[in-house]
Each structure stands twice: as C-alpha cells, then as structure tokens.
Amino acid sequence: MLALLGPSGMGKTTVLRLIAGVMTASAGVVRVGDVDLRKLKGAERRRLRAGEISYIVQGTWANVLPFATTVENLWFAQHGARVQGRMPPWEPHELLALLGLSQLADARLAELPRGAQQLVAVAAGMATGPRLLLADEPTAQLTSTSAFNVVQLLRHISSELGTTVIIVTHDHVIASLLPRVVTIRDGRVGADAIRGEEYAVVDGSGSVQLPPDVLQVLPPNTRVRVVRSPGGVELRSPEWEP
C-alpha cells in the first residue's frame, strides 16, 4: 500500500494514469506484474483494465451513477469485466458484506452523504476483483472522519483481500496513515518514507532531491563539497570549512 504525496502540478496523477494504462509512457518502462504496458494494444489494455487494474478517478460522481443504488453501481462496474470475458470473484451483495458496507446496499447514491458516496466509489472500484487498485485523491473534500473511513476501507482491501493499493494525495495527514509514502517534487521522486522514516532518493541521473528543511541550509545553486566518510557521504558548504 503506497501513497504518492505532493502538491498539485507535480505529476502525481500522470504517474497514476500511466500505471492504469490510460496514458502511454514516452520513455521508460511501466510494468504491472510482468506485463509491459507500452507493448499492449488497445484491446489488450481494455482487458487489463477490465480485470487486473481498477482506477478510481478524482471526484465521486465520475466513478458512480448517482441515480442508482449501491448494488446497481457494483453490478454496472462488473459489466465491463463480463463483456471482456472475466467473471468477477464476488456478487455485489457478497462484496459489500466483505467490505462491511451491507447497510448501504439498497441506498441511492444521490441520497447518501458525501463520505458514504466515496465508500461506494471505492467498493465499485473493487467490484471486478482487481489485483491493483489506483485511487486519485479519494479523500478530497471530505470531513476528517469521512476521510479516515475511506482510508480504513482501503487498508482493509489491501490487508484482507491482498490487493495492491496506490493512492494520490496532497494531504500529509492522509499519507501518514499508509505504510509507505513517495513524495513527488517537480516531477521527480523527492523522498521515500517507509513506516514513518523518510529517505532521500538517488535518481537515475545521480541527482538527489534534498528535503525542504535541508534546502533552508543548502538553498538551490549552493556549491557543496561531497566528502566520503566512514558512515557514508557528507555534503559540506565551503563556507563551513576553515
């Protein structure tokens, strides 16, 4: 389970769309399991998205039918998989029971509060039994309680159903609830935090994006001396040296 964290415009949603197969990478490789997405044709991409990958886009209404009930939304979400020859692993009522949402089964989405609507959107994303669930800002515009409930549902999906979950968020509090957080800065990986411990990342070009608090000491365009030490590597400003 992973959060992609960062402010708007840093490339988080683009990464999610590349993983979902909605966009094609102009360089590099995107693999889901052992499948290289760039090598897939249109029909193959549609089959993959109908079963293996589920993408919850930003905004609840973009993922559900507001005039339909929860069960009807799950059935509709499964229809595409059936057309592609993939049988979903659960009937709608069975999935709602697994997710602890049976009480919402016959409710029309337009009549539900926003937090419950988003829970249904997540359930619809799981309706096909995907191995990979992608969610773009799933807690945006929710109260703190509703946002926590959505994250708890995603955690349940990951731990109990074995689904890989990747969410995009700009909310540091939401990101901190996940076991791994990758921070995107200026279109690059700026940091990788695992269970609360944050690491800087050396990218393919050998560059390192320093944490914001370090940039206060070493602002952009500062010349630094790279010094090997027994414990690793030190960055020293010439101003600090005698």
Domains in the chain, please, with CATH? 2-185 (3.40.50.300), 210-242 (no CATH)
pLDDT tens digits, 122-178: 999 999 999 999 999 999 989 999 999 999 999 999 999 999 999 999 999 999 999
The mean pLDDT of the chain is 91
Q: Name the percent of the chain in helix, strand, coil, to the closest 5.
A: 40, 20, 40
pLDDT at res. 200: 85
High-pLDDT (> 70) share of the chain, %: 99
- Going by C-alpha positions, the residue among 208, 142, 205 that lies closest to residue 169 is 142
Tell me the average pLDDT across 31-60: 88
Q: Using an 8 Å Cβ cutoff, are 199 and 209 in contact?
A: no
Cα dihedral sign for 214, 220, 224, 227?
Answer: positive
pLDDT at res. 14: 93
Please say if the pLDDT value at position 242 is more than 60: no
pLDDT at res. 109: 96
Q: Quickly count: other Cβ atoms within 10 Å of residue 182's Cβ.
A: 20
pLDDT at res. 45: 85
Please say if the pLDDT value at position 63 is more than 90: yes
**How distant is the alpha carbon of residue 49 from its chain centre?**
15
pLDDT tens digits, 176-213: 999 999 998 877 888 999 988 888 888 888 888 888 78
pLDDT band at residue 43 using 50, 70 and 90 as cut-offs: confident
Two tokens at 187?
A: 């279109």
| Helix, strand, or coil (residue 228) | strand
Cα dihedral sign for 134, 136, 141, 143?
Answer: positive
